[in-house]
Structure 1
């Protein structure tokens, strides 16, 4: 006895074939490129991108020498002030050791520059500038910096970059620098150091 296939079965098969054909057609249309936009498409090639970041920073010297007194005592005379250029072996100030500035036990001695450069304030271990050197100032230790001589020929700019942009930077990337004190001038440089650790701030 032969079994007859019901018409509903053929309708179901036809519906499945239509659905499969429609799905394949939609996928083909997505994968194919429209002819009217084909002329505007280009192959992507790896290259260098221009990164535009505007950050402010601190201009510092990469080569500096701190000047220390021979002992504890007092600065009794300043011969070269902060911001002035000095030559090697040139007298900067006169220093007198002892517990009292009017003591006759110690003879005043000159403090001389160990190199050519610009006189600036000392920088404390916390990164802040020390107070200005003045006549009559007491120095409590021979390990206390009294002035700093910096070489202005080798300068660097310390920038604080946000954590979002820091990963966009790489060593030897060229940079352009401008200074508010020198309007209209641009200076070229490159990234020399990227700090391995972030600086945290407590709120």
Structure 2
């Protein structure tokens, strides 16, 4: 499983391929959005975000393998479960947004906000998946420094990113999602 350094590197390699596929999909969706009159915002922080997420997988490998972190046993398997759950949430969000999903902030004027899938419960399920992934993937093989540093860095990035995204999406988005939490779904009381 992922208990050996080679298996962990294989997991990181799969995540790198997944990111590449996402970038291809994002590029295709961006072209379609621009063809429909899409307007992009947030370009300055996007470059920082790309570098940050690229360094994440490298940091995982360097800490876990370069520093010879031991596989943490049950906590490592639990972290793997969280990482797999994060991927499931990410792809549920991507499937729900369809052609509107993008790694960039591109808004096609006049389109109503997507409210299906995980967007029924949260404003930003994809970012929840990223938060979980950045914490869990390093912990699969004991890279706790990477988990801490990248989780904190991601919190700073998301603060900028979410503000820019919600501003770009405008009043209809704000009205539609006014009662939905950003990250943690509310538990029905009864």
Which category describes the TM-score, using the shorter chain as reference length?
under 0.3
Q: Per residue, is there more helix in 1 or in 2?
A: 2
Which structure has the larger Rg over C-alpha atoms? 1
* TM-score (normalised: structure 1): 0.20
Q: Per residue, is there more strand in 1 or in 2?
A: 1
Instruction: Tell me which of the two structures has the higher relative contact order, counting C-alpha pairs closer than 8 angstroms and 6 or more residues apart.
Output: 2
